[in-house]
Amino acid sequence: MMLATAARNLTRRSFSTSKALAAQQLTVRDALNAALDEEMERDEKVFLLGEEVAQYDGAYKVSRGLWKKYGDKRVIDTPITEMGFAGIAVGAAMAGLRPVCEFMTFNFSMQAIDQVINSAAKTFYMSAGTVNVPIVFRGPNGAAAGVAAQHSQCFGAWYSHCPGLKVVSPYDSEDAKGLLKAAIRDPDPVVVLENEMVYGVSYPVSDQVLDKNFVLPIGKAKIMRPGKHITIVAHSKSVETAMLAANELAGKGIEAEVINLRSLRPLDSETIFKSVQKTHHLVTVEQGWPQSGMYPRIYYSGSERLTDCIGSEICARIMEHETFFHLDAPIWRVTGVDVPMPYAKTLEAAALPQVPDVVNAVNKVLGVK
């Protein structure tokens, strides 16, 4: 009798039609690996270079198996000289190839920023549209764990400030695969800001995401959770913080709409506008520093508006759009603390936005005590 009951339970479990149970799981690492593999297979002009990307399979194993499959000419180990191999990659792109240049961490991209900005980002404009630079700069960005100040900075605001670049900031496996494939196919330089802390995390994905033809559009945000009381905008791992906060708020009767930006430049203003016009309230969440955070820091030069960062642009666009008149309270920002990242674990946690910080910000904006 007990065996028969167990068999029936097992059968019911095996044939579950629940979407949550039926969804396949894919880590962000494997999503990025699949994107690289599929694009290298699709286009022989695509190649990967960077520190330890070949024989070691990448510092974070994102390029696992690619060197064995494609060989030395298309998966290239470089010396520890970011300016050198970034320059080689930019030159290759100018010559018609499609390099994917990996920085072991975007903190090290500062060594190569002249190549990224002056060579890659500006060439199409300076050549009057005659020279494309189809290159991808990718690697982990933002805070990791226990790696302190020189390995924990978020460069979303830095790179999205520069005309000539497109900047994407994926959160989950769907984002990672779709945005990296789009970046590799793009005719212009694209910066792909990944997050080390989610490389090993599995997320549910559909059959569509696993398809070789799956590509996400650059410049389009995703509504992760619909809501009617307040809008929470975030990118990268801060999306997780926003979602957890939204779950907690839902238990108190507050329905938050969570927007995953996906793309920092171009920025999907329309999705933000429509959401704020519905909810009348906005909180932004990011791990970057507040001086260049999601808040209006605007400088004027004649008639031209010069904004300081991504979040400034969000707030500035709202203030210059009819959406401003739909706000019932000031916009509130939740950011990293204005200090270099501490090494101590407790201080590191205190330096980054946490779920209670987002919940408190929402309560303040809504006037909830």
Question: Among all residues, which ones are annotated catalytic?
Answer: 82, 151
Distance CA 312, CA 292 (A): 8
Q: Tokens 């559009």 — which residue?
A: 217
β-pairing, 46-50 vs 75-77, is parallel
* 8 backbone dihedrals φ, ψ, rounded to 5°: -65, -40
Nearest CA among 307, 293, 272, 298 for reference residue 361: 293
Cα separation, 369 vs 363, in Å, equals: 7
Q: What is the CA radius of gyration of the chain?
A: 22
Q: Which of 354, 356, 367, 211 is nearest to 280 (CA)?
A: 367
Q: How far apart are CA 114 and CA 249, in angstroms?
A: 44
Sheet (strand 332-334) strand order: 222-225, 256-260, 230-234, 282-285, 332-334
Q: 157: helix, coil or strand?
A: helix
Length of the chain: 369
User: Of 140, 177, 135, nearest to 156 (Cα)?
Assistant: 140
